[in-house]
């Protein structure tokens, strides 16, 4: 097996996806370790979750930097000093600068609560619900400069039930997020993802041995 990856999770809020990743890593081998959790919000629940699990938790205040580029430079220093191999965005509400994305090309994952390329943006669940779709879902993808547009690693559909509320749909979507995000992170850490243009192949473990 390849070297264990060092993972940084970026989160601005509740951190349920971070928690799912922490929990998964306790009972499965991710082939990686969460070395750092970073937030742009001082009181993000995600930072508490990290601390509760003994993971380094850092708040970097965007208001202390004149612009996004300077903020990202600070974050890059932090990532380099921690020798981070993979960045997992889990409800991180700041848009990454293009310099940042190109520095960590194909090393940043994001989760989106809809079936991309439908319903991009911050309200994927509600937008799909209001549109009246019968099927929505969850997408895990690599991050590129354009928002919610990088190559797709895993998608899982969720059927919208006729009489459910948006809150009920939301909680079912979150449950699916918590199932598939740890898997995508694991595939990355096992070096099993191959990007070919827009397509991402997930190698089976047998293929890995044959490489
Ligand atoms: C999730 O719905 C994720 O898809 C979106 O932001 C939300 C984060 O939730 N990108 P949490 O902070 O992980 O609970």
Closest residue by Cα to atom 7, ligand 1, is 91
User: What's the order of all strands across the beta sheet hosting 108-112?
Assistant: 57-59, 32-39, 5-10, 86-89, 108-112, 135-142, 152-159
Instruction: Answer yes or no: is pLDDT of 197 > 90.
Output: yes
State the average pLDDT over residues 38-61: 98
pLDDT tens, position by position, 124-178: 999 999 999 999 999 999 999 999 999 999 999 999 999 999 999 999 999 999 9
Quick one: how far is CA 197 from the chain centroid? Answer: 20
Give pTM, 2 decimals: 0.96
Tell whether ligand 1 has an atom less than 6 A from the beta carbon of residue 141: no
Distances (CA, A) of 40 to 20, 50, 196: 20, 14, 33
Instruction: Answer yes or no: is pLDDT of 209 > 80.
Output: no
Of residues 189, 112, 174, the one with CA closest to residue 143: 112
DSSP 160: P
Residue with tokens 């490489």: 211
What is the H or E stretch that residue 86 is in?
Answer: strand 86-89
Q: Which atom of ligand 1 is nearest to the CA of 18?
A: 13
Q: Which atom of ligand 1 is nearest to the CA of 138?
A: 4
Active site residues: 112
Percentage above 70 pLDDT, the chain: 98
pLDDT at 211: 56
Tell whether ligand 1 has an atom less than 6 A from the beta carbon of residue 137: no
pLDDT at 1: 54
pLDDT at 42: 98
pLDDT at 139: 98
Residue with tokens 């779709």: 133
**Which band of pLDDT confidence, cut at 50, 70 and 90, is reported for residue 69?**
confident
**Which band of pLDDT confidence, cut at 50, 70 and 90, is reported for residue 2?**
low
């Amino acid at each position: 097996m390849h070297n264990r990856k060092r993972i940084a999770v970026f989160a601005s809020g509740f951190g349920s996806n971070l928690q799912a990743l922490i929990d998964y890593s306790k009972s499965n081998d991710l082939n990686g370790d969460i070395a750092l959790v970073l937030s742009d919000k001082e009181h993000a629940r995600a930072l508490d979750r990290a601390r509760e699990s003994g993971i380094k938790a850092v708040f970097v205040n965007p208001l202390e930097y004149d612009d996004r580029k300077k903020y990202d430079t600070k974050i890059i220093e932090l990532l380099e000093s921690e020798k981070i191999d993979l960045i997992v965005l889990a409800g991180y509400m700041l848009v990454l600068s293009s310099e940042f994305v190109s520095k960590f090309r194909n090393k940043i994952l994001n989760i989106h609560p809809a079936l991309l390329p439908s319903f991009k943006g911050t309200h994927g669940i509600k937008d799909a619900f209001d549109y009246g779709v019968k099927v929505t879902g969850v997408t895990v993808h690599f991050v590129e400069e354009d928002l919610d547009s990088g190559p797709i690693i895993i998608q899982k559909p969720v059927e919208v039930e006729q009489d459910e509320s948006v809150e009920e749909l939301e909680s079912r979507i979150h449950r699916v997020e918590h199932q598939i995000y740890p898997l995508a992170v694991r595939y990355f850490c096992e070096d099993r993802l191959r990007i070919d243009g827009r397509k991402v192949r997930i190698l089976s473990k047998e293929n890995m041995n044959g490489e």
